[in-house]
Structure 1
Amino acid sequence: MSKEFQSCGASVIVYKDNKILLQQRRDNGCWGYPGGHTELGEKVEDTAKRELFEETGLKVLSMKLFDVFSGPELRRVYPDGNIVHIIDVVYISTEFEGKLKLQESEVLDLKWFDINDIPDNISPPVKPGLNKFIKQIQGGL
């Protein structure tokens, strides 16, 4: 029997020199920015930092809150039939350190993309945040 639930997560848009770091997800083959579910009692800021490090090997030196995304666009049906309504707290970091090292259990590839040349196959729950970020960069906001 499938379940329907809500989940809070945190993500980081890593941006530098007009490029954004995206990861290709193992579960759906789509591209997106690093992030994941907040653990019980965990601060969302700590989730964002932890997920970025786990998935990319990069350590945040500073980040700022970008926006919070929720609603029908972030509804996801998992292969087991479970349905999750995601609340994603998204941060931006332009200051980070470390060498790229992907988390093989969740990530197929890590790649820097020019902000004007983003791949078409973006993971659906990431699209609202990524589209807003790109519009702000391109519009100079």
Structure 2
Amino acid sequence: MGMSDYYKNLREKLGNQLLFMPAVVGVIRNKQDEILFGRKHNEENWGLIAGAIEIGETPAQAMVREAFEETGLDIEPDRIIGVYGGEEQRFTYGNGHQVEYLTIVFECKIKDGQLNLDNEEIKDLKFFSEDQIPPIANKYPDYIFSSNQEERAHFIR
């Protein structure tokens, strides 16, 4: 889908200025316990399946929507792995748009669907084992990639 009308309207008013944005990220695992990563068109680095929370959406609804839009998969968020924000979550897109994400990271399972490779948002989709995580655009603690996590959500103080 790309950028929603809500965020387009904000960008028209703010230009490339730093925008605070609530977002979701999915650690989506297959049956082999590998994690799904995507690579957007014209980008070299990989990334987790992610996106902005839209007005009126719950974070879990946003995660399900983003996963379907970017991968073609019907997923179910199982639990929150972590919540991250601050300067470590700042990112500048190739078009100059600056964002600082407040990111809710979900562990997700695949319910149904087939990977939709080379779609409108993503050119590559691939599963990686947790000990072979590719270079990624956004910074996350290594903790989120571990299949051996505590039950409570992780955050940085």
Q: What's the TM-score, normalizing by structure 1?
A: 0.83
The answer to whether the aligner puts 1:128 opposite 2:140 as a matched pair is yes
Residue 12 (structure 1) aligns with: 26
Residue 49 (structure 2) aligns with: 34
Q: Could you tell me which amino acid in structure 2 is paired with residue 104 of structure 1?
A: N
Deviation of 1:14 after TM superposition, in Å, equals 0.6
Distance 1:26 1:118 in 2: 20
Distance 1:58 1:108 in 2: 15
Structure 2 portions without partners, runs of 5+ = 1-14, 151-157
Q: Is the 8 A contact 1:56 1:103 kept in 2?
A: no
Structure 1 portions without partners, runs of 5+ = none
Distance 2:59 2:65 in 1: 10
Question: Equivalent of 2:67, from 38, 48, 52?
Answer: 52
- Equivalent pairs, count: 135
Deviation of 1:61 after TM superposition, in Å, equals 3.7
Among all aligned residue pairs of Structure 1 and Structure 2, give the percentage whose two residues are the same amino acid: 27
SS in 2 for 1:116: coil
Distance 2:61 2:55 in 1: 12
Distance 1:54 1:8 in 2: 18
SS in 1 for 2:88: helix
Distance 1:140 1:85 in 2: 26
Q: Could you tell me which amino acid in structure 1 is paired with residue 143 of structure 2?
A: K
Q: Is the 8 A contact 1:64 1:91 kept in 2?
A: yes
TM alignment of 1:82-97, pairs within 5 A: 82-97=97-112
Q: What's the TM-score, normalizing by structure 2?
A: 0.76
Q: Could you tell me which amino acid in structure 2 is paired with residue 128 of structure 1?
A: Y
Q: Could you tell me which amino acid in structure 1 is paired with residue 40 of structure 2?
A: R
| Structure 2 CA distance for partners of 1:27 and 1:90, relative to 1, 3 Å | farther
What is the aligned-residue RMSD (CA, Å)? 2.0
